[in-house]
Amino acid sequence: MDLLVTGGAGFIGGHLSARFLRRGHDVTVLDNLDPDYNHDLKQRVLERCRRSAAEGDGRYELVFGDIRDAKTVEKAVSTADYIFHQAAQTGVRTSVEIPTKLNETNVDGTINVLEAARNSDIERVVVASSSSVYGKPQYLPYDEVHPTTPVSPYGVSKLAAEQYVRVYSEIYGLPTVSLRYFTVYGPWMRPNMAISNFVSRCLHGESPVIYGDGSQTRDFTYVDDILWANERLLETDVADGEIMNVGSTDNIDIKTLAEVVRDQLAPELELQYGERNEADAEHTHADISKANELLGYEPTTDIREGVSKFIEWYRANEGWYDPLVRNS
């Protein structure tokens, strides 16, 4: 099967590409190797894809290009059976600083993918959305009918992209599914994420820094569970245009998360606190009953187990991954 993974040099896209290649699928990765993203990390993700291709029977191709360029996207889409659209400009805080880039990448780029797909013989387009579309909770856990009132430009851009995906399904009959990810973490994630920051600081004898009072809660989802949901869509009949949450069964406050990391690595350290960013959501928690019904989705890794797995991987890769080591 020919699979196109946009953003395939990124965190989730890289994991997906490597898994598909090990399964023997032909995978084309479309990525612009954005310099705003850790370039060395992306190169290592691509090398992992090359190794995975050697382990399986699939063909691997890297297309260096930007989803904002319609001709590049059209060419990459032309040979695909399935598209896993993971490419995006990420970061809630970044989106506050450069909202126009968020819109160009996350909205215009997604339209380019959808346009190319509707002019090709595509079996399905699977699109990465985000829990950021929900914004301030009226109730928890969020189900898919919860009002969508995002509190950041990032959330707005993901909601707009998601709605274009739905409309392309309704008007043009394009087979699509959107998955709303809830705070995905694990090996190869961006080093500036909360968990990786906590681990890095603790390994260097520095206190974890919590932004706000630590009462904010998150539904942290281990990356392997996200991969399972995506892979399931290669073999499961789901109505076109569906939108579903992909989260965990966990909901943990940031203070407790910092303590979980601290207690494993440097229990003598005290927690520190900084100013909270107003664009950060106060709480997230996924109702995954729809994904369970349609996909049989059941997350398998709780936050404490996932943190332990990530710390083990971090230690093995600290020399190139840890920002404090790289910049020393």
Active site residues: 154
Q: What does DSSP assign to residue 186?
A: S
Position of tokens 């400009």?
89
User: Encoding tokens for residue 45?
Assistant: 């993700």
- By CB atoms closer than 10 A (0-12, 13-18, 19+), residue 13 is buried
Angle at 165 between CA 60 and CA 238, to 5 degrees: 75
Cα separation, 243 vs 259, whole angstroms = 34
Among 81, 83, 77, CA closest to 65: 77
For 232-281, the DSSP string reads HTTT----TTEEEEE--S--EEHHHHHHHHHHHH-TTPPPEEEPPPTTS-
Residue 128's SS3 state is strand
Residue 189's SS3 state is coil
